[in-house]
Amino acid sequence: MNIFIVYAHPEPRSLNGSLNQYLQTRLVSLGHSVQVSDLYGLHWKACLDSADFPDREPGARLDISHDSKHAFESGTQTPDVVAEQQKLLWADAVILQFPLWWFSLPAILKGWVDRVFAYGLAYGVGEHSERRWGDRYGEGTFKGKRAMLVVTAGGWESHYAERGVNGSIDDLLFPINHGILYYPGFDVMPPFVVYRVGRTDPERYQQMQTALDQRLQGLFTDAPIPYRMQNGGDYEIPSMLLKPGLEQTGQPGLRLHQRRDS
């Protein structure tokens, strides 16, 4: 299978750097083809701006959705963006690897999403009307592909538990898993999260590799997060509110958007 790793850490000698090398080596040993975009190594331009649309009229008002659609459809996107889109289309699975900085993605990785997930590729796909809000949340360009986050965090695992002071890790990663990956159609695997990274010794690092290896071996066979499909009948139209009675008793906030059997 084809696997595309998008890697965002500025220091190759970091724990993330070591895990990235392990990811590549292990995936190849499992028989997969691997491509990696090292965003810091690429000196990736993080800001989406008018320079991303070289074909637009000089002096015209910047309209991100309109200009993105035009550039995508007319083949006038910048070469760096096109190269990343081709890797996404090539891949059977995508892994986003990054440290959790201020409860979110590093800016360079968010900028990769902003620029690469163009109108017509990752959004603006399918029918948009009063009866249908496009092919998204379980449908779209990347339907049938898988995605997984590999994340490092400085805090203890308990800090990211349901009652932890930082909030549930599933809730913190929901905007990425559900909003960035599931939205354009990926089947999203539960994230692989390493906690308390500042206290890593050789024994603990070996344990990380063993746990990650199990996840890699199940990348195409383990069950994804059972998010509800937008157009699967669970949401009212056109409000897109979850229909009454579908939630489980006591089911916390964002988990409303997972099926009852989750």
What residue ranges define each of the domains in the chain, with the CATH number in brackets? 2-225 (3.40.50.360)
pLDDT for position 67: 95
pLDDT of the chain, 262 residues: tens digit per residue: 999 999 999 999 999 999 999 999 999 999 999 999 999 999 999 999 999 999 988 888 999 999 999 999 999 999 999 999 999 999 999 999 999 999 999 999 999 999 999 999 999 999 888 888 899 999 999 999 999 999 999 989 999 998 899 999 999 999 999 999 999 999 999 999 999 888 788 888 889 899 999 999 999 999 999 999 999 999 998 899 999 888 776 666 788 899 876 4
**Cα–Cα distance for residue pair 103/120, rounded to 1 Å:** 29
Pairing assessment for the beta strands 192-194 and 146-152 based on DSSP bridges: parallel
**Cα–Cα distance for residue pair 183/119, rounded to 1 Å:** 13
At CB < 8 A and 24+ separation, what contacts does 107-113 make?
A: 107/46, 108/8, 108/39, 108/40, 108/44, 108/46, 109/6, 109/8, 109/39, 110/46, 111/44, 111/45, 111/46, 111/47, 111/48, 112/6, 112/8, 112/37, 112/39, 112/44, 112/46, 112/84, 113/180
Q: Which helix (H) or strand (E) holds 221?
A: none
Q: Give the CA dihedral 101, 124, 181, 92, nearest 10 degrees.
A: -130
**Cα–Cα distance for residue pair 126/123, rounded to 1 Å:** 9
Distances (CA, A) of 202 to 23, 54, 199: 17, 49, 10
**Cα–Cα distance for residue pair 147/145, rounded to 1 Å:** 7
